[in-house]
């Protein structure tokens, strides 16, 4: 970030950017970049990276599963070419045929760089391009698989097929270091959040580059409107958890869901016994049929439907009103990169996060709390600490500190610049060593 004449930070335009962070020569030629992703609905976080590459004059094509999904529709709306992957990113009788089809597709596209996100995409991209003359860039969205005793031995070998592993958090970079990956080949670039779109006063136009200050009256109006829709008064402490409900994976976390719903609900019940003027808002439906079934199981197990202190909404496209309504965000995940904490922070909402993965990187002592992973008592205590600051009127200052931290470290447009720099350097041969 650099400052304009008024002293406010403004984002560096592409022509002004400094030499790439890898230290190698910046790519001068127009590149062909193929982006590979195993989902056509999630993964919206690739959009700023794709736009940055296109803005630099590179040709980008995105390879996704077939069918209509939110990501596919948005890419096409922006005029970004989308190709259907012949491989469905699942292991089964047709896997080899699918991988060979993906290999033929990538030969036809002839990318200089193959950029893949998510582990299934990484496995597919690596094997489908064995022996092909291209560069491979793996970007790690979530590091949970690096905790698996089954996956780690394979990844200890397979990361060597990548020219560089861009880690979405420092935690992931450290885990790859444990697998023998040298520091130069595991740089960190967060997926982040658009801090202009996610800001407390999003209902009024944002001044370009004005990332820290916001219109507090507009924020107050948005907060009052959202709370009125929930039937919650301004004197009620409101905590929010925004997360899809992912189905449990047998080989990870002993078959428990990763977002920590089963940690939060008992902690909330204990907390609310002491502080009845409090409400928990959970936003997020199940990811796929299995996730929806797990969500129903959680609702039944923790008697959520009959609890007047909990409201659980299905997935909604725009979560900003609910952040505006909240006093604190809670991310009790068992495995995570940065998750919802960056959106909450950009919306000037302080966070309580678990020690899992990269979550502790999203808060500091000024703007949030970090609690041990899978610890109901510690989470209960953190909720009580946040409640004390709520009653003392100190939470808004924590929220403003969270906003400043997100603008300084987690804006996804700055991250997109870094990712594009790395891709250009990889194409020029500046990373593998």
DSSP notation for 299-315: HHHTT-TT-TTEEEEPP
Q: Which single residue is written with the structure tokens 């100190």?
A: 394
What whole-number percentage of the chain has pLDDT above 70?
A: 89
Structure confidence at residue 28 as a pLDDT band (50, 70, 90) = low
Contact yes or no for 165/185 (Cβ under 8 A): yes
Contact yes or no for 317/71 (Cβ under 8 A): no
Which of residues 6 and 285 earns the better pLDDT score? 285
Look at residue 10 and tell me whether its pLDDT is greater than 70: no
Structure confidence at residue 256 as a pLDDT band (50, 70, 90) = confident
Nearest-angstrom CA–CA distance, 261 and 386: 19
Nearest-angstrom CA–CA distance, 83 and 405: 37
- pTM tops 0.85, yes or no: yes
Nearest-angstrom CA–CA distance, 189 and 211: 20
Looking up residue 150, the CATH number of its domain turns out to be 3.40.50.2000
- Pair 241, 300 in one domain: yes
Structure tokens at 37: 């992703």
Look at residue 219 and tell me whether its pLDDT is greater than 70: yes
- Pair 170, 27 in one domain: yes
Determine the longest span between alpha carbons in the chain, in angstroms. Answer: 64
Nearest-angstrom CA–CA distance, 168 and 19: 21
- Pair 148, 262 in one domain: no
Cβ neighbours of 392 (radius 10 Å): 8
What residues pair up with 363 in beta bridges, in sequence order?
A: none
Mean pLDDT across 426-433? 76
Look at residue 306 and tell me whether its pLDDT is greater than 60: yes
Q: What are phi and psi of 49, to 5 degrees?
A: -70, -45
Domain span including residue 342: 216-409
Mean pLDDT of the chain: 89
Q: Which single residue is written with the structure tokens 């870094």?
A: 418
- Pair 188, 258 in one domain: no
> For the purposes of burial, counting CB atoms within 10 Å of the CB of 385, is it exposed (0-12), middle (13-18) or buried (19 or more)?
middle
- Pair 248, 180 in one domain: no
Nearest-angstrom CA–CA distance, 420 and 20: 9
Nearest-angstrom CA–CA distance, 331 and 355: 10
- Pair 180, 240 in one domain: no
Q: What is the pLDDT of residue 317?
A: 83
Instruction: Provide the H-helix boundaries in 182-245.
Output: 216-230
Radius of gyration of the chain (CA): 22
Residue 67 CB partners (closer than 8 Å, separation 6+): 40
Reduced to 3 states (helix: H, G, I; strand: E, B; else coil), residue 242 is strand
Give the pairing type, strands 164-167 and 82-84. Answer: unpaired
In tens, the pLDDT along 352-407 reads 999 999 999 999 999 999 999 999 999 999 999 999 999 999 999 999 999 999 99
Asked if residue 323 is part of any domain, the answer here is yes
Mean pLDDT across 134-143? 94
What residues pair up with 283 in beta bridges, in sequence order?
A: 242, 313
- Pair 239, 312 in one domain: yes
Look at residue 21 and tell me whether its pLDDT is greater than 80: no
Q: How far apart are the first and last CA of the chain?
A: 29
Asked if residue 386 is part of any domain, the answer here is yes
- Three-state DSSP string of 106-126: HHHHCCCEEEEECHHHHHHHH
Asked if residue 199 is part of any domain, the answer here is no
Query: What is the domain count for the chain?
Result: 2
Nearest-angstrom CA–CA distance, 227 and 210: 27
Asked if residue 203 is part of any domain, the answer here is no
Nearest-angstrom CA–CA distance, 367 and 397: 8
DSSP letters, 355-368, are SSTTGGGG--TTTE
Q: What is the DSSP letter of 354?
A: E
- Across 8-27, b (16+ Cβ under 10 Å) vs e yields ebebeeeeeeeebebebebb
Look at residue 312 and tell me whether its pLDDT is greater than 50: yes
- Pair 102, 226 in one domain: no
Asked if residue 204 is part of any domain, the answer here is no
Mean pLDDT across 80-96? 93
Asked if residue 359 is part of any domain, the answer here is yes
- Pair 249, 381 in one domain: yes
- Pair 317, 181 in one domain: no
Q: What is the pLDDT of residue 45?
A: 93
Asked if residue 208 is part of any domain, the answer here is no
- Pair 274, 182 in one domain: no
- Pair 49, 125 in one domain: yes
Asked if residue 200 is part of any domain, the answer here is no
Helix (H) or strand (E) holding 9: strand 9-10
């Amino acid at each position: 970030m650099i400052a304009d004449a008024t002293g406010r930070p403004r984002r560096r335009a592409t022509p002004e950017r400094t030499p790439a962070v890898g230290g190698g020569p910046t790519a001068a030629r127009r590149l062909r970049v193929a982006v590979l992703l195993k989902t056509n609905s999630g993964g919206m976080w690739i959009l700023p990276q794709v736009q940055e590459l296109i803005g630099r004059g590179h040709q980008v094509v995105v390879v996704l599963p077939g069918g209509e999904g939110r990501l596919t529709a948005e890419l096409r709306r922006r005029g970004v070419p989308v190709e259907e992957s012949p491989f469905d990113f699942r292991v089964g009788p047709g896997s080899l045929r699918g991988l060979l089809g993906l290999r033929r597709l990538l030969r036809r596209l002839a990318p200089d760089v193959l950029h893949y996100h998510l582990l299934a995409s990484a496995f597919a991209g690596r094997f489908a391009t064995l022996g092909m003359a291209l560069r491979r860039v793996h970007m790690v969205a979530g590091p949970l698989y690096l905790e698996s005793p089954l996956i780690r031995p394979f990844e200890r070998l397979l990361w060597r097929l990548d020219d560089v592993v861009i880690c979405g958090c420092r935690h992931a970079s450290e885990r790859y270091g444990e697998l023998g990956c040298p520091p130069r080949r595991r740089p960190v670039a967060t997926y982040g959040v658009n801090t202009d779109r996610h800001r407390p006063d999003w209902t009024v136009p944002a001044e370009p580059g004005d990332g820290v200050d916001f219109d507090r009256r507009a924020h107050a109006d948005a907060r009052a409107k959202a709370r009125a829709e929930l039937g919650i008064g301004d004197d009620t402490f409101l905590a929010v958890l925004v997360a899809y409900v992912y189905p449990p994976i047998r080989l990870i976390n002993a078959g428990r869901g990763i977002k920590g719903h089963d940690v939060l609900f008992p902690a909330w019940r204990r907390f609310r016994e002491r502080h009845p003027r409090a409400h928990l808002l959970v936003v997020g439906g199940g990811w796929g049929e299995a996730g929806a079934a797990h969500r129903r199981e959680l609702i039944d197990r923790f008697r959520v439907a009959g609890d007047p202190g909990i409201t659980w909404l299905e997935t909604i496209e725009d979560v900003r009103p609910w952040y505006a309504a909240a006093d604190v965000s809670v991310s009790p995940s068992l495995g995570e990169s940065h998750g919802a904490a960056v959106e909450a922070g950009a919306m000037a909402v302080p966070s309580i996060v678990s020690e899992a993965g990269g979550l502790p990187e999203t808060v500091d002592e000024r703007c949030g709390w970090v609690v041990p992973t899978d610890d109901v008592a510690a989470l209960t205590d953190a909720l009580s600490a946040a409640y004390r600051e709520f009653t003392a009127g100190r939470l808004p200052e924590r929220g403003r500190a969270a906003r400043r931290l997100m603008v300084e470290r987690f804006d996804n447009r700055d991250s997109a610049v870094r990712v594009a720099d790395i891709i250009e350097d990889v194409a020029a041969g500046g990373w593998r060593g």
